[in-house]
């Protein structure tokens, strides 16, 4: 829904509590930490609100709302709650990362173009020191040279790129694995 409050906005929908609670009863991840809910922050950078109509040959036909819904569903199935947000503003993304300390257990970030420019996002991720995973829809190593360098690389546990919307779901699997190890 490009242009809508949800696509443009600060806070897209968090995992509904009732779904989340049901998922915790059934997932093996959740059984290991019955009384500790893990929550992840999924951040999206500039122009990702235009997914679906933006260069679909590169970024696919799924809208950001489609990706959000798939992420919330995936996270819920793994017993995680997910807060999915998008901003076109670097400072807003920095603020959300700073606020994540103490509120979230991990971060998944597609910083989009800021991946290749932002020392501020890198420093924010290093400052909060939460486990973080970098995500890209496209294979940034198979495109223009300037996309091959990520400023976020040293601040994240790993990167998933090139699988379209599936990159986000693979990253949720990865962060669930990391958080599961952390709670062992
Ligand atoms: C998205 C963007 O907007 C680009 O600026 C990045 C990334 C790649 C992606 O593939 O998700 O270079």
Query: Which residue in this structure is represented by tokens 């601040």?
Result: 155
Domain of 107, in residue numbers: 37-183
- Between 85 and 4, name the one with better pLDDT: 85
- Measured over the CA atoms of residue 52, residue 56, residue 77 and residue 155, the dihedral's sign is negative
Q: Tell me whether residue 23 is in a domain.
A: no
Q: Tell me whether residue 16 is in a domain.
A: no
Q: Tell me whether residue 4 is in a domain.
A: no
As annotated, the active-site residues are: 59, 136
pLDDT tens digits for range 137-177: 999 999 999 999 999 999 999 999 999 999 999 999 999 99
**Residue 123 annotated as binding site:** yes
DSSP conformation class of 9: S
Q: Tell me whether residue 121 is in a domain.
A: yes
Count the domains in the chain: 1
pLDDT tens digits for range 10-58: 344 333 333 333 333 333 333 334 556 799 999 999 999 999 999 999 9
Q: Tell me whether residue 94 is in a domain.
A: yes
Domain of 150, CATH number, reads 3.40.50.9100
The answer for 136, left when phi > 0, alpha when psi is -120 to 50, beta otherwise, is beta
98's tokens: 């700073």
Q: Tell me whether residue 69 is in a domain.
A: yes
Q: Is 2 exposed, middle or buried (0-12, 13-18, 19+ CB in 10 A)?
A: middle
Q: Tell me whether residue 19 is in a domain.
A: no
pLDDT tens digits for range 111-147: 999 999 999 999 999 999 999 999 999 999 999 999 9
Q: Tell me whether residue 154 is in a domain.
A: yes
User: What percent of the chain has a predicted confidence (pLDDT) above 90?
Assistant: 78
Q: What pLDDT is attached to residue 2?
A: 39
Decide: 51 in ligand 1 pocket, CB within 6 A.
no
Decide: 136 in ligand 1 pocket, CB within 6 A.
yes
Q: What pLDDT is attached to residue 182?
A: 73
- Ligand 1 pocket test: which of 48, 87, 115, 116 has the largest number of ligand atoms within 8 Å of its C-beta? 115
């Amino acid at each position: 829904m490009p242009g809508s409050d949800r696509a443009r906005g600060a806070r897209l929908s968090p995992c509904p509590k009732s779904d989340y609670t049901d998922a915790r009863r059934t997932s093996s991840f959740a059984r290991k930490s019955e009384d500790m809910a893990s929550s992840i922050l999924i951040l999206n950078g500039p122009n990702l609100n235009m997914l679906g109509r933006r260069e679909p040959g590169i970024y696919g036909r799924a809208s950001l709302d489609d990706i959000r819904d798939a992420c919330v569903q995936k996270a819920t199935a793994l017993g995680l709650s997910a807060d999915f947000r998008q901003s076109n503003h670097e400072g807003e993304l920095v603020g959300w990362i700073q606020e994540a300390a103490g509120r979230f257990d991990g971060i998944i970030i597609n910083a989009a173009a800021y991946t290749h420019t932002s020392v501020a996002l890198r420093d924010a991720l290093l400052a909060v020191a939460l486990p973080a995973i970098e995500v890209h829809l496209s294979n940034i190593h198979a495109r223009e040279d300037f996309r091959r360098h990520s400023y976020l690389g040293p601040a994240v546990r790993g990167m998933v790129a090139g699988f379209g919307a599936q990159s986000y779901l693979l990253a949720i699997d990865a962060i669930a694995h990391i958080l599961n190890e952390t709670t062992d």
